[in-house]
Amino acid sequence: MNNGLQQLDPNDVRIFSGRSNPELARKIAEQLSVPLEETHISRFSNDNLYVQLGASVRGRTVYIVQSLVPPVSDHLVELLMMLDIAKSASAREVHAIIPYFSYARSDKKDAPRISITSRLVADLLVTAGANHIMTMQLHSPQVHGYFSIPADPLTARGLFANHFRGKKYKADDTVVVAPDVGGAKSSARFAQMLELPVASAHKTRVADKKVEIGGLFGRQVKGFRRALVHDDEIATGGTAVKLCQLLVEQGIEEITLICTHGLFLGNALDRLSSIPEVQEFVTTDTVHIPVARRPSNMTVLSTAPVFGGAIRQNYSRLSIGELFDFGQDGDEESV
């Protein structure tokens, strides 16, 4: 798999970070043995943003790391400005590394006179100067097709599987649960990696902060003692709370909540922690969660090895699908 893999040349590569997740950017740079360059960001008196890249990018390959987390609009404009700066300063290639692409939730026209914002943002990134997009676990897979440039949606399933393999859960007492049909395929792949059964619930989103969870179907959860709830993201916690209540009603005694993007907005963590059966939270660092906010039973897995590996493969002009072919799952989302 490593045949032809090149070391990144620090004289040829520049890595910059916006303000959304500099800790992850530093870890990615460390994975690649390339320094994280400075980015100077401030505001003018009229509230306009001022952004300056702290190192020359002329003729170089540039990677810009920025998650679209609150305040999303500020972080998006920062990213667009950084891409434009790199393009205007004659960078050879400009790669946007977006660990959490929040606008993937705005993927369709389901009401009159609204924007398909994920497509709009995809176009803005290209106009600003991006030659390539790399992200993690899009909420809506069809958003991949909105990009007119190469885009790689990576997966954290391998990180999660490695974390749970040591626990040696048994198929007769533990079940993987997908909160909705849209995530059922990803959850099934994750369950296969752990050799566990899988079940899926039926979710209807009534409003941004209100959901309804129907009965589980497929393989029912009755008779199982433990549930691993596998989702792409937890924002307000509405879906997770409803699902946990349903699982407890059906006899589940222990629940582990797993999500790639742990936003945990507002009082989401308090609401979920108040459910006695919730034993553990497992998420990644695509969204920065300050240590002071993390409950004692939360594990945050770093996606830096995934992004670093994909960047190294891409730099070497090698397929990244091979890199993320975990277990026997040969149809990964990253290719």
Distance CA 240, CA 197 (A): 20
Q: What number is the average pLDDT over the span 212-237?
A: 81
Convert the pLDDT of each residue in 263-309 to its tens digit. Answer: 999 999 999 999 999 999 999 999 999 999 999 999 999 999 999 99
Question: Are 130 and 188 in a shared domain?
Answer: no
Alpha carbon distances (Å) from 188 to 28, 183, 201 = 29, 9, 13
Question: Are 287 and 194 in a shared domain?
Answer: yes
Question: Are 135 and 205 in a shared domain?
Answer: no
Of 110, 137, 112, 139, nearest to 207 by C-alpha is 110
Question: Are 122 and 255 in a shared domain?
Answer: no
Question: Are 109 and 208 in a shared domain?
Answer: no
Q: Is residue 330 part of a domain?
A: no
Q: How many CB atoms lie within 10 A of CB 212?
A: 12
What range defines the domain where residue 61 resides?
Answer: 13-156+304-315
Q: How many domains does the chain have?
A: 2
More confidently predicted of 271 and 143: 271
Question: Are 147 and 173 in a shared domain?
Answer: no
Question: Are 20 and 144 in a shared domain?
Answer: yes
Question: Are 77 and 150 in a shared domain?
Answer: yes
Q: Is residue 8 part of a domain?
A: no
Q: Is residue 117 part of a domain?
A: yes
pTM: 0.90
Q: Which helix (H) or strand (E) holds 226?
A: strand 226-234
Question: Are 95 and 128 in a shared domain?
Answer: yes
Q: How confident is the model at residue 243, as a pLDDT?
A: 92
Of 137, 136, 138, nearest to 119 by C-alpha is 138
Q: Is residue 334 part of a domain?
A: no
Question: Are 105 and 28 in a shared domain?
Answer: yes
Q: Is residue 260 part of a domain?
A: yes
Q: Which domain CATH number covers 130?
A: 3.40.50.2020
Q: Is residue 7 part of a domain?
A: no
More confidently predicted of 216 and 21: 21
Question: Are 310 and 297 in a shared domain?
Answer: no
Question: Are 77 and 174 in a shared domain?
Answer: no
Would the pLDDT of 29 be above 80? yes
Distance CA 106, CA 155 (A): 20
Q: Is residue 3 part of a domain?
A: no
Active-site residue numbers? 203
Q: Is residue 232 part of a domain?
A: yes
Q: How confident is the model at residue 218, as a pLDDT?
A: 41
